[in-house]
């Protein structure tokens, strides 16, 4: 899929900005970006621009810590060969 990009967080990274929770950033056409969290069984749609910006910043930090897409692909292919 051309609109999907996968990046793997190396196991050597012991801490990152999103340990212990998950989120999705969504940018609907013709609408502002929103965030969705399902932390600890409490789903929440976040529409407040400042809160969404903070989550987007965390996402940017995580992407910077993760392997680039090309290295991620190489790692996944290597792991598949080891199966």
The two three-digit tokens of residue 23, written as one number: 């989120």
Give residue-wise pLDDT tens across range 7-34.
Answer: 999 888 888 767 767 889 999 899 999 9
For 3-65, the DSSP string reads T----PPPTT----TTTT--EEEE--TTS--EEEE-GGG--EEE--HHHHHHHHHHHHHHHHH
Q: Which of 37, 54, 38 is nearest to 46 (CA)?
A: 37
Q: Where are the domains of the chain?
A: 23-82
**What pTM was estimated for this model as a whole?**
0.76
Angstrom distance (rounded) from CA 16 to CA 39: 16
Give the pLDDT score at 20. 67
Q: What percent of the chain has pLDDT over 90?
A: 66
**37-41, 55-59, 62-66: lowest mean pLDDT where?**
37-41
Could you tell me how far CA 7 lies from the centroid of its own chain? 8
Mean pLDDT of 56-79: 94
């Amino acid at each position: 899929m051309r609109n999907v990009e996968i990046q793997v967080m190396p196991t050597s990274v012991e801490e990152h900005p999103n340990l212990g929770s998950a989120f999705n950033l969504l940018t609907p056409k013709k609408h502002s970006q929103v965030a969705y969290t399902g932390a600890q069984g409490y789903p929440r749609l976040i529409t407040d621009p400042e809160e969404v910006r903070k989550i987007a910043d965390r996402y940017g930090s995580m992407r910077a810590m993760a392997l680039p897409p090309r290295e991620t692909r190489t790692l996944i292919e290597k792991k598949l060969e080891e199966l």
